[in-house]
Amino acid sequence: MRAVITVIGTDRVGIIAGVSAILADANVNILDITQTTMQGLFTMIMLVDISKSNIDFEHLSSRLSAKGDQLDLKIRVQHEDIFKSMHEI
C-alpha cells in the first residue's frame, strides 16, 4: 500500500530529517519526494510504500502528527487512493 505524506508550515531546519527518521524507524520506504512553496507556505509531499511498515497506520499517523506539533507544522499521512480517486478517472 502506498501513502502520501504532506507537510505544511513554515520552513525550518530538520523537517526532512525529522520525517525520514520516523519513516526509517518504521521501515517505510520513500518512493518520491517533492517540496515547494505555495502561497508563502513551505509544502513537502512524500510518496511512501508502507506495505513493509513495522507499525500500524494509526501509530505511523500519530508519530508523524506528533513530530509536526514539535516542529510547528501540519503533517498528515493519507492513503494515496483518496487523491487518485478525486483527480484521476
**Interacting residues with another protein (CB under 8 A):** 4, 6, 8, 31-32, 34, 36, 38, 43, 45, 47, 57-58, 61, 76-88
Q: Which is nearer to another protein, 50 or 71 (CB)?
A: 50
CB of 69 to another protein, least distance (A): 16
Residue 27 or 78 with smaller CB distance to another protein: 78
Grid coordinates given for 48 = 511512501
* Least distance CB 70 / another protein (angstroms): 20
| DSSP notation for 76-89 | EEEETHHHHHHH--
Q: Where do we find the cell 492513503?
A: 79
Beta strands per DSSP E along the chain: 2-9, 29-38, 41-49, 73-79
Nearest distance in Å: CB 68, another protein? 13
Name the phi and psi angles at 75, rounded to 5. -115, 125
